[in-house]
């Protein structure tokens, strides 16, 4: 999967692997205006909480990379404008705001240096966010693999893989690490309507890595669990509140209820950059509502009456009580969470 | 909806409204060879447990309609062959076998009559199965409407509507009857992957009837219930075992678990022709496994890697313990079921 990076910085451009086109086409978007990074995040050309944080960080670099050195005020204003625009690209994933806050701090700590040096430290910082994320994923994988028994069948929802992160993946990182330890994992991937990240990205990623994967519809999770075909669920997260409530792709909550009902362990894999210590509970997490046509159409094909009313929340919130553990780069948190999660704050 | 009949007999042909093309195109298949009725059932051009029973009954008539009067043995052999072929078209819905058994009985009770009279009684019987089903649906609607409070928001899965039956519908019959009583019902329809009967058929039917309907993905049911947006669930059934276990469209079981978890009443609406008194429990109901490409593709669009492994069960079984009531044309059955359901046998 090394060549399939969700986001790269190259020669003064942000390269984004267009995840709306995968797996049918490998299209690399070469972006030289940060506003198109905003657009790529909005349009889900890049998606996955850690990956959009990384894309946003490079977007800030891009906003000032091609500016002249003459006007310091314009330079700083552009960088701040980019941070603000990128912040508004999507509302739910914490990693976006976390990465942009890191970029804002670097900017404000280096305000008086030559503009070229500011560019350099911004790029260094974006690269660090990117590289750190890969390392965090690998540590998540290490910690999580210990929870997965040999010859387990694991269900995952949406894509929390290499394509959703700097590389390696969170939920898929756990699966990869378990597989690397010779545990012979079998995976059921839900297709994840409406945008089919499971069908298009998770199935694709796992097949590329020769991991045994079977695709099912989202509605088949209950059937699989009723027939005792699932040993564990591992999903990623877009934002985790202080009490351990988890916002993740719509449908995650249904999977968690079904897992609880069938005594299947339900694991969430996420770096600390996903945690929002300012939020007491998941009820405070803003849930993005996306366009009705995501459900009414696929490509040029009309799936439903053109004018049918649609509700299209992109995420839901799984209460901490339905999770068996949250797997982070610092280790595995088990419920009850509040103390443990608050202590993590110092390390994040 | 009167003109939108799933199945009709007209001028020696079986007319099937192609439900794979709805709602984008209204295509009426005009079938004069019973083998194409078999194919239409297999390909889901006609679907819905009661509707395939009706189509099969007309298919038996069709098999002998155009035969000459010279060869009685060939006539009877063709009719029996048609019954056998139609029986094998799909494995799960009881109504198919129920309707074919009625046709077989009519045939064996009239073996020695002139062939033209046999044709006539077969057609009369198929028409009776069809007309009875509409009346059964209306009675189901009457009985079920009493369970639905004024201004309720009802969730339904798949299509148990006019298009799935002789007309009016089972689950949608309950919703139509409640609406007719001025109860101002709001409906959430799940799109029902992989074949999108909810998006294509339920949304379409309800909009045609000016009933307030909102389309959601199957994965959004948990979200809706978590937010207390659903007052009741009403679904149809493909087969109901003696203990009240219900086979219905894949995903129904997940909805039932979520409904139980959120204390939302879960109603099953089905005529007695759906009951299989020979089966002790839902575990004995054969579950159809359909082709992987139903999940991997929509029309010409590839949704997943071409060679990804897929599991595609078309139905699941909801245990009686998760149902709040089964609404039949004879009245509303409430758990515990076994006694009540066995008594119904004499009336079926």
- pLDDT of the residue at A339: 67
Among B112, B138, B164, the domain boundary falls at: B138
- pLDDT of the residue at B166: 94
Residue B153 token pair: 């928001």
- Whether A245 shows a pLDDT value over 60: the answer reads yes
Among B114, B138, B162, the domain boundary falls at: B138
pTM: 0.96
Same domain, B134 and B252: no
Report how far residue B111's alpha carbon sits from residue B102's, in angstroms, rounded to the nearest whole number.
14
Using CB atoms and an 8 Å cut-off, which of residues 124-183 of chain A contact chain B?
Answer: none
Mean pLDDT in residue range B216-245: 98
- Whether A1 shows a pLDDT value over 50: the answer reads no
Among A89, A110, A138, the domain boundary falls at: A138
- pLDDT of the residue at B348: 47
CATH number for position B52? 1.20.120.420
Same domain, B230 and B337: yes
Q: Which residues of A are catalytic?
A: 238
Same domain, A119 and A146: no
- Domain extent, residue B15, equals 7-138
Interface test with A, best of B213, B254, B288 (most A CBs within 10 A): B254
Q: Is the peptide bond between A311 and the residue preceding it cis, with omega within 30 degrees of 0?
A: no
CATH number for position A244? 3.40.50.10470
Looking at chain B, how many residues does it have?
348
Q: What is the pLDDT of residues B8-57, one digit of tens each?
A: 999 999 999 999 999 999 999 999 999 999 999 999 999 999 999 999 99
Asked if B186 is an interface residue toward chain A (Cβ–Cβ < 8 A), one would say no
Same domain, A75 and A11: yes
SS3 of chain A: CCCCCCEEEECCEEEEECCCCCCCCCCEEEECCHHHHHHHHHCCCCCCHHHHHHHHHHHHHHHHHCCCCCCHHHHHHHHHHHHHHHHCCCCCCHHHHHHHHHHHHHHHHCCCCCHHHHHHHHHHHHHHHHHHHHHHHHHHHHHHHCCCCCCCEEEECCCCEHHHCCCCECHHHHHHHHHHCCCCCEEEEECCCCCCHHHHHHHHHHHHCCCEEEEECHHHHHHHHHCCCCCEEEECCCEEECCCCEEEECCHHHHHHHHHHCCCCEEEECCHHHEECCCCCHHHCCCCECCCHHHHEECCEECCCCCCEECCECEEEECHHHCCEEEECCEEECCCCHHHHHHHHHHC
Furthest-apart CA pair in chain B: how many Å? 68
- Residue B1 counted as domain residue: no
Asked if A29 is an interface residue toward chain B (Cβ–Cβ < 8 A), one would say no
- pLDDT of the residue at A99: 98
Same domain, B53 and B65: yes
Mean pLDDT in residue range B99-127: 97
Nearest to B328 by CA among B34, B50, B114, B85: B50
- Residue A1 counted as domain residue: no
Q: Provide the number of structural domains found in chain B.
A: 2
- Residue A2 counted as domain residue: no
Residue A213's closest chain B neighbor by CA? B309
Same domain, B306 and B159: yes
Give contacts of A254 with chain B, Cβ < 8 Å: 219, 221-223, 254, 258
- Residue A291 counted as domain residue: yes
Give contacts of B307 with chain A, Cβ < 8 Å: 207
Residue A317's closest chain B neighbor by CA? B223
Q: What is the pLDDT of residues B119-170, one digit of tens each?
A: 999 999 999 999 999 999 999 999 999 999 999 999 999 999 999 999 999 9
> Exposure string (b/e) for B89-122, b if CB count within 10 Å is 16 or more?
bbbbbbbbbbbbebbbebbeebeeeebeebbeeb
């Amino acid at each position: 999967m090394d060549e399939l990076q969700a986001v790269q910085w190259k020669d003064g451009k942000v390269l984004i692997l267009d995840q709306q086109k995968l797996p049918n086409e490998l299209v690399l978007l070469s972006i030289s205006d940060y506003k198109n990074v905003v657009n790529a995040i909005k349009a889900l050309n890049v998606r996955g909480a850690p990956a959009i944080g990384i894309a946003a960080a490079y977007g800030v670099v891009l906003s000032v990379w091609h500016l002249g050195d003459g006007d310091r005020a314009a330079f700083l204003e552009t960088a701040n404008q980019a941070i603000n625009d990128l912040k508004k690209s999507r509302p739910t994933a914490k990693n976006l705001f976390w990465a942009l806050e890191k970029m804002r701090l670097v900017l404000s700590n280096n305000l008086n240096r030559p503009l070229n040096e500011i560019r350099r430290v911004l790029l260094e910082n974006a690269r660090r966010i990117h590289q750190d994320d890969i390392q965090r994923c690998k540590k998540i994988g290490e910690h999580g693999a210990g929870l997965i028994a040999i010859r387990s069948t694991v269900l995952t929802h949406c894509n929390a893989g290499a394509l959703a992160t700097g590389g390696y993946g969170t939920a898929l990182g756990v699966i990869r690490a378990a597989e690397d330890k010779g545990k012979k994992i079998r995976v059921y991937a839900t297709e994840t309507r409406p945008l089919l990240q499971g069908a298009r990205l998770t199935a694709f990623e796992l097949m590329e890595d020769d991991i045994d994967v079977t695709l099912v519809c989202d509605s088949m999770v209950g059937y699989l669990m009723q027939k005792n075909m699932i040993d564990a669920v591992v999903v990623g997260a877009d934002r985790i509140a202080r009490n351990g409530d988890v916002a993740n792709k719509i449908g995650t909550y249904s999977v968690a209820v079904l897992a609880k009902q069938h005594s299947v362990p339900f694991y969430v894999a996420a770096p600390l950059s996903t945690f929002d210590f300012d939020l007491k509970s998941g009820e405070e997490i803003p849930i993005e509502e996306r366009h009705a046509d995501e459900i009414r159409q696929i490509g040029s094909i009309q799936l439903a009456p053109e004018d049918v009313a649609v509700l299209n929340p992109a995420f839901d919130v799984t209460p901490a009580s339905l999770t068996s553990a949250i797997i982070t780069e610092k280790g595995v948190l088990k419920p009850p969470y509040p103390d443990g999660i608050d202590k993590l704050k110092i390390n994040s």
